[in-house]
Structure 1
Amino acid sequence: MINAPRHGGEYADREVDCQEAMESGFQAIVDCMLEAGWQRGEVMRALRRLVAADNMTQKENARVEADLAIARAMMRAGRAL
């Protein structure tokens, strides 16, 4: 069972609470994959690659957002892109 956040909105330990809530889900995924015949090393590599892909996506999204913010500011200032 996944626990709900301690309270609504942002608070200092919300990210830690989220990570703790996800631990049981990741453990269930690992258990299912091991039961299906995957080797522990393969499972861990797959999870690391999944996390790495998410990190790359977040960085790329941040870069695109920054580029869009710059382009919008230039347009408001009347400058060509």
Structure 2
Amino acid sequence: MISRPRRDITYPDRELDCQEAMEPGFQAIVDCMLEVGWARGEVMRALRRLIAADNMTQKENARVEAELAIARAMIRARK
């Protein structure tokens, strides 16, 4: 049974709890990919691409958040 991370987002081990909760799901995905005939190398490449896409998304989101914070500060400074 997968246990959900605690709702308090400030505790130190939240990231580990989230990884632990996701691990069985990723293992099931990998098992399905292997079952239908994907080679291990193909599975690993696909997972690496998924991780790379997530990293790019996180960087872009951080950039947009920074731009929004600057824009909000400029608007507040005008008032």
TM-score normalised by L of structure 2: 0.89
Encode CA deviations 1:8-47: one digit per residue, 9 max, x unaligned: 3121101101101111111110000000011100011101
d(CA) in 2 for partners of 1:61, 1:30: 28
1:13 and 1:70 map into 2 onto residues whose CA distance is 31
Residue 14 of structure 2 aligns with an amino acid whose one-letter code is R
Number of aligned residues:
77
What aligned pairs does 1:2-81 form with structure 2 within 5 A after superposition? Answer: 2-5=2-5, 7-10=6-9, 11-78=11-78
Identity score, percent:
81
Residue identity matched to 2:7: G
TM-score by length of 1: 0.87
- Give the distance between the partners of 1:37 and 1:61, measured in 2 at CA: 35
Give me the whole-angstrom Cα distance separating, in 2, the residues matched to 1:74 and 1:21.
41
- For 2:72 and 2:12, the matched residues in 1 are separated by 32
d(CA) in 2 for partners of 1:13 and 1:73? 33
Which portions of structure 1, spanning 4 or more consecutive aligned residues, are displaced by more than 3 angstroms? none
CA root-mean-square deviation: 1.1
